[in-house]
Amino acid sequence: MNAADQSFIDMATAAIQNAIGLGKYQVYLWTFDNCNIATLASYFQGLGYTVLFPEFAPINGSQPGELFGPDFEAYWENQLLPSNTKPKNPALIGIVWGTTTTLDPAEPG
């Protein structure tokens, strides 16, 4: 884990605590330069959160439906795409906990 990952984790933890205080069940945060998207997803999954598929900024040219789906885990292990194809920052990552029926950043739970 690098300094950017730790900064993202600190920011996400504060956002999660704030959302819990407001009775919400999810947050959506943008990664930034030098964040390792796979590391961040694994970290929050390890804490028991559901991490929604990252939504990549249009400048990166990939849409989530092209990269994810049933092969999500294999993707993070670099088994689906050539080794020179990596997730790029910025990416919008959803972190969800508890019970919610809304998994859309436009309609926060």
In a domain, 107, yes or no: no
Number of compact structural domains in the chain: 1
In a domain, 52, yes or no: yes
In a domain, 54, yes or no: yes
**49 C-beta neighbours (distance < 10 Å), count:** 19
The answer to whether residues 35 and 8 touch, using CB atoms and an 8 Å cutoff, is yes
pTM of the model: 0.66
In a domain, 49, yes or no: yes
Q: Strands, E, within the chain: which ranges? A: 26-30, 50-56, 91-96
pLDDT recorded at residue 108: 45
The answer to whether residues 41 and 76 touch, using CB atoms and an 8 Å cutoff, is yes
The answer to whether residues 55 and 64 touch, using CB atoms and an 8 Å cutoff, is yes
pLDDT recorded at residue 73: 52
**How high is the mean pLDDT in each 10-residue block of the chain (109 residues)?**
94 96 92 87 91 62 50 51 58 82 47
In a domain, 102, yes or no: no
In terms of residue numbers, what domain contains 10?
3-96
